[in-house]
A and B are shown apart, each in its own frame.
Chain A
Amino acid sequence: MGSLSLRNVHKSFGSVEVLTDINLEVEEGEFVIFVGPSGCGKSTLLRIIAGLEDASSGDVLIGDSRVNTLPPSDRGIAMVFQTYALYPHLTVRKNMSLGLKQAKKSPEYIEERVGIAADMLELTPYLDRRPAELSGGQRQRVAIGRAIVRNPKLFLFDEPLSNLDAALRVNTRLEIANLHRELQSTIVYVTHDQVEAMTLADKIVVLQAGRVEQVGSPMDLYNDPDNLFVAGFIGSPAMNFLDAKLFDLPAEVKTIGLRPESISLADTGKITGKVSHLEHLGADTNVYVKVREHLITVRIPGQTDYEIGSTVQLDFKPDDLFRFDKDDKRVR
């Protein structure tokens, strides 16, 4: 038995179906990330797990019990929001302890739990401040602290890093990863950023238009995507897609995919193109090559230079080709 199960979950707003037949098992202690473009239903799914939204049909099980009709506070969950959602008129300490107070825990227990969470997140000096007196990163740590204090069976994170700037995002990402190691807790995390998904997750659930496209470990999804959408979504820069007619391939194959890092520029290659743009990143160089109507991204390790407009040859190993049929399914 997993720590969270979703069985045939459907959700529609009026006649618009936003989630279709979602089935998912999450094991104890697993870090699961829902990832997908905006509007794919990932936040709605998280809100259904939290109990903030009712599923139109299907079951949600936390632990071994069906929680469809339980209010959020009785589900044994804690949630961290994108906008932090701290209570503006309460101090950090009161923000973190409100849930326990509401559950009628003893003051000593509350004190202890708040102490532990504050230590873990280095928030002890700020306990008597109000949220307005904290920086964005500190506020997000308070929000995480508020979740830890409740000692939940399940942590829910709703795009917790989206409101932080880039440097802070990396730090907080590490903190969340450490937290997961320390607490060994089950986490469900929603993001639209595939880098976050790749770096944090034990298991990634790729959603598109209310359907689960693929479930698997980050490397599974990278190395063995089931379809064109997953292949294009996972990996950065994104995979290049080309018309299969450029190559001599079986008729069923309609599109081929090539990761930017598996292409090299050589004197003799399989395709010819013109360099149209360069991006120097220091460790890598992204070369954009125009091949007929396609713009192909090539990622070359180290620093190289090409003249814009010069002709180059693209080479790759045949094994690195991903083949997709007319329904965008992978042809293996």
Chain B
Amino acid sequence: MNKVKHNPLNLAFAHVALITYTIIALFPVIVILINSFKTRKAIFRDPLSLPNSDSFTMVGYETVFKQGDFLQYFQNSMIVTVVSLFFILLFGAMAAFALAEYRFKGNTLMGLYLAIGIMIPIRLGTVAILQIMVAGGLVNTLTALILVYTAQGLPLAIFILAEFMRQVSDDLKDAGRIDGLSEYRIFFVLVLPLVRPAMATVAVFNMIPIWNDLWFPLILAPGEATKTLTLGSQVFIGQFVTDWNAVLSALSMAILPVMILYIIFSKQLIRGITSGAVK
């Protein structure tokens, strides 16, 4: 690469800006983390101080593990998020491939139709969705949540992936056809590996709202066996008393899995977001 001499002053400014942003972004997370290890009194007396020998307590975590089936909630959240992501990526990529690759009547119209979902929030249809789920006997199942989240994620996934798939060289796909690969193998073996950064981007963008969602679990699957982590944490928030130790502890633990998934995807993610700008 070419060696551009960076002006140290510019470099310093860039770092100051980035560090400031990092602090602002991390502040709430850190406050949650440190307070989850403090006694209730200490949380309100001095919310920003670190836990010391006086205020340190694990009571929040103990409550969380004693009350409610937290591992179960964890598992529910994990299943819903991972399965939804899998379907969003699979069906999204397939639809995107069809839109990007094949000439058929109504191609553009179909693309627009699929993109409309980006603009209309799925929550507007909550009542109808609930009716459908009741009719289908899917209330209080994880399947209900997976179906809704897949529907919610598909429009944006198709929109982003189709754009990336149009950039995959036609010659490559044609070479596959001449070598006798079926359209499915061309899709899975040639095209998917090339749009991996875009897939990671879509995965992360979809993962966080699904993991954090309170709305649909509350409406569609509030049963004890199907509670997600976010919904499960709500038991500690009462109308009159809130067990802040437990809430903060539950939230702290809820961060972990998303962070792990994020770290897995992040390298691809950065490439996905920047590839359009740099290429």
Contact = CB atoms under 8 A, between A and B. Distances in A.
Interface of A: 47, 50-52, 71-74, 77-79, 81-89, 98-99, 102-103, 146, 158
Interface of B: 169, 171-172, 174-181, 189-190, 193-194
B173 to A, nearest CB: 8
B188 to A, nearest CB: 12
Given A83-B169, A83-B171, A52 B190 contact: no
Contact of B174 (A81, A88, A103, A146): A81
B168 to A, nearest CB: 10
B192 to A, nearest CB: 10
A47 B174 CA distance: 9
B177 A52 contact: yes
Contacts of A82: 171
A72 B178 contact: yes
A260 to B, nearest CB: 37
B104 to A, nearest CB: 13
B172 A99 contact: no
Nearest to A89: B193
B193 A99 contact: no
A99 B178 CA distance: 8
Given A52-B174, A87-B190, A99 B169 contact: no
Contacts of A73: 177-180
A88 B178 contact: no
Given A52-B177, A98-B179, A99-B179, A88 B171 contact: no
By Cβ-Cβ distance, the 6 closest A-B pairs, closest first, are: A73-B180, A85-B171, A99-B179, A81-B171, A85-B175, A102-B180
Most buried by A among B169, B174, B179, B193: B179
Contacts of B169: 83, 85
Contacts of B194: 88
B227 to A, nearest CB: 42
A51 B169 CA distance: 18
Contacts of A86: 175
Contacts of B175: 79, 81, 85-87, 146
Nearest to B189: A87
A28 B107 CA distance: 42
Given A85-B171, A89-B193, A79 B180 contact: no
30 contacts: A50-B178, A51-B177, A52-B177, A52-B178, A71-B180, A72-B174, A72-B177, A72-B180, A73-B180, A74-B180, A77-B178, A78-B178, A82-B171, A83-B169, A85-B169, A85-B171, A85-B172, A85-B175, A86-B175, A87-B172, A87-B175, A87-B176, A87-B189, A88-B193, A88-B194, A98-B179, A102-B180, A102-B181, A103-B180, A146-B175
A85 B178 CA distance: 11
A81 B176 CA distance: 12
B108 to A, nearest CB: 14
A71 B172 contact: no
B177 A71 contact: yes
A49 to B, nearest CB: 11
A29 to B, nearest CB: 21
B178 A79 contact: yes
Nearest to A102: B180
Contacts of B171: 81-85, 158
Nearest to A13: B103
A87 B169 CA distance: 11
Contacts of A88: 193-194
Contact of A85 (B174, B180, B189, B193): B174
B178 to A, nearest CB: 5
Contacts of A52: 174, 177-178
A138 to B, nearest CB: 17
A89 B168 CA distance: 14
A238 B179 CA distance: 40
A74 B182 CA distance: 12
Contacts of B179: 73, 98-99, 102, 146
A23 to B, nearest CB: 25
B174 A79 contact: yes
Nearest to A152: B178
A85 B181 CA distance: 14
B274 to A, nearest CB: 19
B98 to A, nearest CB: 18
Contacts of B174: 47, 50, 52, 72, 79, 81, 85
Contacts of B180: 71-74, 99, 102-103
A159 to B, nearest CB: 10
A83 B174 CA distance: 11
B165 to A, nearest CB: 15
A87 B248 CA distance: 50
B242 to A, nearest CB: 52
A64 to B, nearest CB: 21
Contacts of B181: 98, 102
A102 B179 CA distance: 7
Most buried by A among B169, B174, B193: B174
Nearest to A82: B171
Most buried by A among B169, B175, B190: B175
A30 to B, nearest CB: 21
B159 to A, nearest CB: 25
Nearest to B179: A99
Nearest to A50: B178
Contacts of B176: 87
A50 B177 CA distance: 10
